[in-house]
């Protein structure tokens, strides 16, 4: 049985179980990401620290993927509605969020933050990140597939916690206006962020749910997803 497990892991190009556990313990200790508490810190400075860390350390291919990480710190980058002046002029603002994910306070222009993380800056990063994202693509898909191989039809909560052991955060988001649900994977080993469908049809939120056992309460999955993702995010002193 042990030989079978070893050969299967090697076939998926994953770390051997003991090596992975040791590496995870040394490099990815579970810590809760500190989130913005509006009114308790100078907002522009706090936003600058969060945005600087995430944009510099992680690879992402879209604003939505970047926001999957930023929102764990209660921060969101926003272009405005399609017909807005902000959107038409390719502007970008950053909001602080409350616990419910709603914008609070006055948004800050990207040009006012350290490093000026404007939309043209981010679009350049999207292109620069393409090569690294392709490299991290395989490790992430193999890790997800291996979780499904270990247990036939795990619950989504079980999948989330199993991926956490591999330093992969699973972020489930639901658009309150459209009701459309999305799933994002943040690979802290490879420092990359993927919207599930960019990995392929098998990894979009619909397919992931079909491959998992149904759970009775989706809000429980979202809660487990959020807590797991926040444990893995780097701490930022505010």
Domain-wise residue ranges, the chain: 43-120
**pLDDT score, position 58:** 96
**pLDDT score, position 238:** 60
Token output for 185: 């994977």
- Percent of the chain topping pLDDT 90: 60
pLDDT at 231 over 50: yes
CA distance 141 to 109: 36
**pLDDT score, position 217:** 54
For residue 82, report the phi and psi dihedrals to the nearest 5 degrees. Answer: -55, -35
pLDDT at 7 over 60: no
pLDDT at 184 over 50: yes
Q: Model-level pTM greater than 0.85?
A: no
Sheet holding 103-109, edge to edge: 75-78, 93-97, 103-109
* Residue 125: band (very low, low, confident or very high) from pLDDT cuts 50, 70, 90: very high
**H or E element, residue 76:** strand 75-78
**pLDDT score, position 80:** 94
pLDDT at 27 over 50: no
Nearest to 182 by CA among 191, 193, 168, 192: 193
pLDDT tens by residue, 63-82: 999 999 999 999 999 999 99
Under DSSP, is residue 182 helix (H, G, I), strand (E, B) or coil?
Answer: strand
CA distance 124 to 119: 9
């Amino acid at each position: 049985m042990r030989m079978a497990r070893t050969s299967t892991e090697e076939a998926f190009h994953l770390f051997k179980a003991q090596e992975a556990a040791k590496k995870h313990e040394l490099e990815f200790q579970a810590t809760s990401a500190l989130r913005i508490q509006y009114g308790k810190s100078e907002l522009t400075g706090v936003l600058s620290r969060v945005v600087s860390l995430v944009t510099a350390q992680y690879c992402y291919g879209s604003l939505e993927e970047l926001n999957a990480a930023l929102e764990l710190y209660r921060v969101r980058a926003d272009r405005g509605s399609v017909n807005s002046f902000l959107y038409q002029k390719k502007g970008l603002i950053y909001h602080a969020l409350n616990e419910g994910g709603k914008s609070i306070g006055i948004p800050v222009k990207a040009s006012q933050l350290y490093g000026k993380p404007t939309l043209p800056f981010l679009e350049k990063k999207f292109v620069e990140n393409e090569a690294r994202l392709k490299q991290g693509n395989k490790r992430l898909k193999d890790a997800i597939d291996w979780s499904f191989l270990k247990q036939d039809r795990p619950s989504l909560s079980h999948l989330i916690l199993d991926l956490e052991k591999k330093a992969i955060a699973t972020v489930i988001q639901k658009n309150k206006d459209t009701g459309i649900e999305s799933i994002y994977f943040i690979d802290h080993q490879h420092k990359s962020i993927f919207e599930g469908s960019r990995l392929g049809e098998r990894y979009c939120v619909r397919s992931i749910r079909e491959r998992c056992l149904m759970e009775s309460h989706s809000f429980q999955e979202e809660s487990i997803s959020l807590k797991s993702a926040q444990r893995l995010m780097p701490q930022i002193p505010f």
